[in-house]
């Protein structure tokens, strides 16, 4: 039982890490709550479902194509909605409300197009997982762990060793100073939306191969990602990983003694505790001024 909970926690933590990382990149750069990220997350597996199940395309084509289209959806939300609002001097609160509206519209588009029933990307007979230390783990769950770690390392390298990564960190730290220094903040934000949306799409496809998909799957994923970001610290890539795994371990081992219906409640209890006693998370920095 313990070993199975341990493996389940690692799998969930890997998923939360990807979602937290994708959200953190966008939030750090734009400084507002991108609610529509949950819908972008949902779009990717539905694109893959369209290409693979409906159109019969092979997975090695449909999955990369779905990830690219998911990134394009994220880019379009920035170009069509957020950028014009920022140029008008809109407050972060208005941007948040706009993002909530985008989420509702995009979710309803998915529901109207594909229906509200549960769908799956898997084909063939569901087989029993591999045995490891007395626990069971499936090949797709192994892929979730490996892909998550590789993308985490890749994002760390991007932020630390590339010119665009330096520009992203500059815009996240002080947008006005970054512009004065000659950085094109609009281009940086657009790139961030593309990368963040693609990461969310990868996470969503992996989850959909493991536990299927519904049009509302994005909101719960987004909330878990946000909790993980707050635990680890906004803007910190190691923090996203730490927050994701701590949240996953707390949820999985917490329901060892109580009902599994308490998983989401455990997440938000942890969120409240961090907001009260350490709002900047483990690796975040204290801030003197906060915009609402």
- For 46-62, what is each residue's pLDDT tens digit? 999 999 999 999 999 99
Distance separating alpha carbons of residues 277 and 44, to the nearest angstrom: 36
In a domain, 80, yes or no: yes
Q: What is the mean pLDDT of residues 112-122?
A: 89
pLDDT tens digits along 219-270 = 999 999 999 999 998 888 889 999 999 999 998 888 777 776 777 888 889 9
pLDDT for the residue 289: 44
Q: Which of 15, 17, 10 is nearest to 237 (CA)?
A: 17
In a domain, 256, yes or no: no
pLDDT for the residue 254: 82
In a domain, 24, yes or no: yes
Number of domains present in the structure of the chain:
1
Compute how many other C-beta atoms are within 10 angstroms of the C-beta atom of residue 2.
11
**DSSP string spanning 2-29?**
HHHHHHHHHHHHHHHHHHHHHHHHHHHH
In a domain, 240, yes or no: no
Domain encompassing residue 136: 2-114+130-216
In a domain, 290, yes or no: no
In a domain, 234, yes or no: no
CA distance readout (Å), 269 to 2, 240, 262: 23, 18, 10
For residues 40 and 201, is the Cβ–Cβ distance under 8 A? Answer: yes
Torsions phi, psi for 119 (to 5 deg): -125, 165
Q: Which band of pLDDT confidence, cut at 50, 70 and 90, is reported for residue 286?
A: low
Q: Which band of pLDDT confidence, cut at 50, 70 and 90, is reported for residue 291?
A: very low
Strand partners, 135: 132
pLDDT for the residue 205: 94
Q: Which band of pLDDT confidence, cut at 50, 70 and 90, is reported for residue 130?
A: confident
In a domain, 181, yes or no: yes
* Helix H or strand E segment including 291: none
Compute how many other C-beta atoms are within 10 angstroms of the C-beta atom of residue 276.
8
In a domain, 200, yes or no: yes
């Amino acid at each position: 039982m313990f070993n199975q909970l341990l493996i389940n926690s690692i799998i969930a933590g890997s998923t939360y890490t990807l979602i937290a990382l994708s959200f953190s990149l966008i939030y750090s750069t734009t400084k507002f709550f991108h609610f529509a990220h949950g819908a972008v997350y949902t779009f990717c597996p539905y694109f893959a479902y369209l290409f693979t199940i409906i159109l019969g395309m092979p997975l090695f084509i449909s999955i990369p194509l779905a990830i690219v289209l998911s990134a394009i959806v994220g880019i379009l939300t920035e170009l069509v909605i957020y950028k014009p609002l920022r140029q008008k001097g809109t407050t972060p609160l208005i941007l948040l409300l706009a993002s909530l509206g985008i989420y509702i519209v995009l979710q309803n588009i998915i529901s109207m197009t594909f229906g509200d029933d549960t769908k799956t990307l898997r084909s063939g007979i569901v087989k029993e997982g591999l045995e490891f230390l007395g626990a069971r783990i499936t090949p797709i769950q192994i892929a979730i762990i490996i892909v998550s770690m590789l993308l985490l390392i890749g994002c760390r390298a991007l932020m630390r060793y590339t010119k665009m990564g330096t520009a992203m960190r500059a815009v996240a730290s002080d947008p006005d100073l970054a512009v004065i220094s000659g950085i094109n903040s609009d281009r940086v934000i657009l790139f961030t939306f593309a990368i963040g949306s693609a990461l969310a799409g990868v996470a969503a496809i992996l989850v959909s191969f493991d536990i299927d998909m519904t049009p509302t799957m994005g909101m719960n994923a987004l909330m878990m990602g946000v909790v993980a970001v707050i635990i680890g610290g906004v803007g910190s890539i190691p923090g996203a990983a730490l927050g994701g795994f701590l949240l996953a371990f707390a949820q999985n081992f917490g329901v060892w003694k109580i009902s599994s219906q308490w998983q989401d409640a455990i997440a938000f209890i942890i969120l409240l505790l961090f907001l009260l006693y350490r709002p900047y998370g483990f690796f975040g920095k204290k801030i003197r001024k906060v915009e609402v």
